[in-house]
Amino acid sequence: MPAPYLTAAFYLFVTLPDFEARKAPLLALCAQRQVKGLILLANEGINSTIAGAEGDVRAVLAYLRADPLLADLQHKESWSDKPPFHRMKVRLKKEIVTMHVPDISPTLMAGTYVQPADWNALIADPDVVVVDTRNDYEVEIGSFAHAINPKLKTFAELPAWLDAQPQLAAAPSGKKPRVAMFCTGGIRCEKSTAYLRARGFEEVFHLEGGILKYLETVAPEQSLWQGECFVFDERVSVGHGLVPGPHALCRACRQPLEPGATESALYEAGVSCPRCHGTTSKAQKSGARERQRQWERAKARQALQEDL
Whether the CA torsion 300, 305, 307, 308 is positive or negative: it is positive
Backbone angles phi, psi at 297, to 5 degrees: -65, -40
Question: Running DSSP on this structure, what letter comes out for residue 244?
Answer: B
Give dist(CA 168, CA 97) in Å, integer. Answer: 23
Give the closest residue to 109 by CA, choosing from 174, 27, 211, 192.
192
Give the H or E element holding residue 128.
strand 128-132
Q: Is 189 part of the annotated catalytic residue set?
A: no
Give the closest residue to 30 by CA, choosing from 14, 45, 8.
8
Q: Which residues are CB-contacts of 289 (< 8 A; sequence separation ≥ 6)?
A: 268, 270, 271
- Burial pattern 286-305, b for ≥16 Cβ within 10 A else e, equals eebbeebeeeeeeeeebeee
Give dist(CA 19, CA 4) in Å, integer. Answer: 31
Asked if residues 206 and 196 have their Cβ atoms less than 8 Å apart, the reply is no
Kindly tell me the burial class for residue 61, based on how many C-beta atoms sit within 10 Å of its own C-beta (0-12, 13-18, 19 or more): buried
Can you name the residues that pair with 5 across neighbouring β-strands?
80
Q: Where does 248-304 show beta strands of DSSP type E? A: 249-250, 255-256
Q: Residues 183, 189, 229, 273: which is the catalytic one?
A: 183
- Which amino acids are annotated catalytic? 183
